[in-house]
A and B are shown apart, each in its own frame.
Chain A
Amino acid sequence: MKLELLQENLIIALNQLHRIIPSKPQLPILSTILLEAKENIISLTATDLFIGINTIVPGKVIQPASVAIPGRIFYSSIAALDPGKLELSLDRDNLTILSANNTTSITCLAADDFPEFPQLKEEVSSLETNTLEKIQEMVSFSASTDLTRPVLTALLFQFSQDGLLVVGTDGFRLATLKLSDEKNKEDKQMLIPAKAITEAARIVSAQDVKEVDFQVSEELKQAVITIGNTKLYVRLIDGEYPPFNKIIPAEFLTEIEIDGKEFENQLKRAQIFARESSDIIRLQIDKGEMKIIAISPSFGKQEGVMGVEMIRGKSGEIAFNSRYLLDFLSALKPEKINFYMNESLTPAMFRPSGKEEYQYIAMPFRVNE
């Protein structure tokens, strides 16, 4: 094998791959990156047998061949090199990387042992990249990271004639985003790991593409997301998604509008004192203003006040875990927020003003004085 490529191109590809390489797998082959060079296409592949990534690096193939290169050492040594032309050549199981001032030699494994990727025959559908970015920004953060509840680590994609509905929840808060433009003739739904969407969004941000392709196999429980010259293989999640429709109130008695940035600042101030009591902060809404209160049993109390525009309803009090609110604010960075509530113990809703297609439902906390 012999090929030439630029360090700056190779490192972009490796940046996408190296994160998924398992650190101490039982088979050494699983910690490798497969480098395939054939007919002027240089591709890199990695997998942990749950997620797989395949990407293409621009370069020149002088002599085609394939080899499995130990991932971490490959990534680290390429990252340490200066930008510029690299010449890669293979002699038996020895890969030599020749750059301006360095010669790096890595012992590799046979490409044949590298795990095969599942082959999907299903139809390809596509999504605009800004839709994917929207999903990532507005919904992904709501999913759980707790692997003991796999269903909640996924985002629900519900396709129908009315459009695509994406839902994320960790059991204490829930985000839904309705994308009316993404209509689908048949009703279907699938659970895609939130981490995969995050990964896809990261790849999108590194590439200049307008559309992302999706291919889904129910039988293989696999989805392939194609972003430009990168393919992301994702395991779909099995199981029944919680009945999210049942916990979204159809109406709220109180609605107020507040400034997003000011609210975020108030929450951050309150959080200093809330830390000791599970990050619980209290919101008291009364006569055009809202108090944000946090009490620390050992250190004291923080009380902030901000003006609100009462749109309708009465005064009220409600307590939340401030992290759930800050997650929402830092993910969406809304200029103005509308906050909706009923009773102090029933689910309440936040929404960036004017974004009717979006709902962020948070479960309040019970505070015993």
Chain B
Amino acid sequence: MQSLSWSNSKVKEVWQIACAQLELELSNGVYNIWILPNPLTKVTISQGKAIAVINSPTGFYSTNVKNKFGAHLQRVLSGVIGKPVEISYQISSPALNKSKQSQTTSDSRGGGNNNSSSPSASLIGSTSLVRSHSPIGSNSAQSPRAEDLFSQASVESVEKNQSAVRAKNIGLRQDYSFETFAVSSSNEMAHAAASAVSKNPGEAYNPLFLYGGVGVGKTHLMQAIGRNILLHQPTAKVIYSTSEEFTNQIVNAIQTKSTIRFKERYRTADVLLLDDVQFIAGKDSVQEEFFHTFNALAKNNKQIVLTSDRPPHEILLLEGRLRSRLEAGLMIDIQQPSFELRTAILLIKSKAAGIPIEIEMAKMIASRVDSARKIGGILNSLKSEIELNGQELTPELIEHILITEVDQKRPQIKAQIQQVIKTVSNHYYLKQQVVKGKSRKKKITLARHIAMYVCKEDLGEPYAEIGRWFSGRDHSTVMHAYHKIQEMTAKDESLAQEISAIRMSLIGMR
């Protein structure tokens, strides 16, 4: 048999009729205490019987209504409803219903006429959590206002704080977020992919493989993904680990016979961030463990993000099956930051460090420093000069720091002019004789000029001496070449990189 519930208005009507009858039959006090506060709230008809719900504010009311007036109520209600009635006694607070109704109307905002510290009604469990509070007499000069502890603003600020702590516990850096990541053509793809992954972990691109040289922002992007996921899913289990830590943990787990715990830790992650994955190459048991972890996570659509200094196919000693797994996701190459991007990074980082520098000064530094990581070093020295030694932020100060930080800290090249010429020639696949010679082919002149530049800049040889090595050229020719290259490197990124590559091979020489 179907049961049928009466509408609220019908229930109310029945209750009114019953009340009118009960009021006549009972004394005023009894009616007011035992009947009125315990209304009929629901009637269900089932199998020819009516089940009536009598709702009381407390167990005291309910117990007494039931024991003292149950039979009486049953008789009256049966008469009104016209069916045999069974009464079910329930308890709920009428105050709650009342406050629900008043929520919409009593939301007085801190207008200064609230007469006491007691905040007005509503709020809990409601959506209108934002409210401000203005106690006693705010006609004063200061106008104090306290947000409710549970106001939207307060909850949000604390949530941020809590997610920051979670991020810290995981090992994510405070300053590595999407907000502090400067985007330009060299990294916009990577940024877009990372941002997509952080919004839909496990669904957008899985695995995401970021690769690129030192200081291009791989780790920054990877940690930003972790932070962003934590911000939106505070309970997500995010693991950030470098390959070295991963390796050490496996070794440790094997030693202490606790591999189960290790497996459980990694395989229950919602997001795995593994930095510098190239280091697991050649370590068989580590690769195997990583392979299984990878499969377990990928199978459950858990997000995996990896970084490396080179693409999977260039990582030697990487197992084939693992390589194919890595290549199955999205692989993105992050290029060295361009001059403009370095300037932008400088502006962002200097602001974060509390020493906002002018764009002109930023350009000055960006033209002399090639990696983002070094920019951090320069800013640190700038900050300490300003804060500890009380210096003013001037182009002269920057120049001074650049000289000590960049020029002097550059590893000394202890090579002969002869070796420079040899190295440059090898780099461009030219014969030394041609480089030293008189050919005016564009490619050869460039190589010759670079060699001259390096001899002057790094070896500090006199112009005339350098000229002698290049078929007895005049010192002014060398000077011209030096300035030309200096100018070009400030603008041409690839040239600057080539020169630093040449320097690297010279440093390696003895």
Contact = CB atoms under 8 A, between A and B. Distances in A.
A117 B33 CA distance: 15
A278 B135 CA distance: 6
A278 B64 CA distance: 46
B29 interface: yes
A27 interface: yes
19 contacts: A27-B32, A49-B57, A149-B119, A150-B96, A152-B124, A172-B148, A172-B149, A220-B63, A221-B93, A238-B92, A238-B96, A239-B125, A242-B149, A250-B162, A251-B168, A277-B142, A347-B158, A363-B146, A369-B142
A25 B33 contact: yes
Contacts of B140: 276-278, 297
B58 A250 contact: no
Interface in A142-166: 144-152
Chain A CB within 10 A, most for which of B58, B118, B119, B141: B58
B159 interface: yes
A47 to B, nearest CB: 6
B445 interface: no
Contacts of B137: 276-278
Contacts of A147: 95
Contacts of B146: 172, 321, 363-366
B119 A172 contact: yes
Contacts of A50: 57-58, 60
Chain B CB within 10 A, most for which of A52, A119, A235: A235
Contacts of A219: 91
A361 interface: yes
A251 B164 contact: yes
Interface string A308-348: 00000000000101010000000000000000001101110
A342 B121 contact: no
Given A171-B119, A217-B59, A235-B59, A278 B138 contact: yes
B173 to A, nearest CB: 15
Interface in B54-89: 57-64, 67-68
B355 interface: no
B123 to A, nearest CB: 7
Contacts of A237: 93
A359 interface: no
Given A144-B118, A346-B157, A346-B161, A220 B29 contact: no
A247 B124 contact: no
B389 interface: no
Contacts of A243: 150, 155
Nearest to B36: A26
Interface residues of B, number: 60
Given A26-B32, A118-B63, A346-B157, A151 B124 contact: yes
A171 B121 contact: no
B267 interface: no
Interface string B99-125: 100100010000000000111111111
Contacts of B93: 150, 221, 237-239
Please provide the 5 A-B residue pairs with the shortest distance between their CB atoms, ordered closest to farther.
Answer: A118-B59, A220-B59, A250-B165, A148-B121, A222-B59
Contacts of A150: 93, 95-96, 99
B4 interface: no
A64 interface: no
A249 interface: yes
Contacts of A247: 149-150, 154-155, 158
Contacts of B162: 246, 249-250
Given A115-B60, A361-B149, A347 B154 contact: yes
A226 interface: no
A369 to B, nearest CB: 7
A169 B149 contact: yes
Given A150-B96, A246-B159, A347-B154, A363 B147 contact: yes
Contacts of A369: 142
Given A277-B140, A279-B136, 6 more contacts: A47-B60, A50-B57, A172-B119, A239-B93, A363-B147, A365-B144
A119 B63 contact: yes
B400 interface: no
A132 interface: no
A217 B146 CA distance: 38
A146 B120 CA distance: 8
A116 B65 CA distance: 10
A169 B136 CA distance: 20
A368 interface: yes
A30 B33 CA distance: 10
Given A150-B99, A239-B96, A346-B154, A49 B118 contact: no
A368 B142 CA distance: 5
Contacts of B121: 148-149
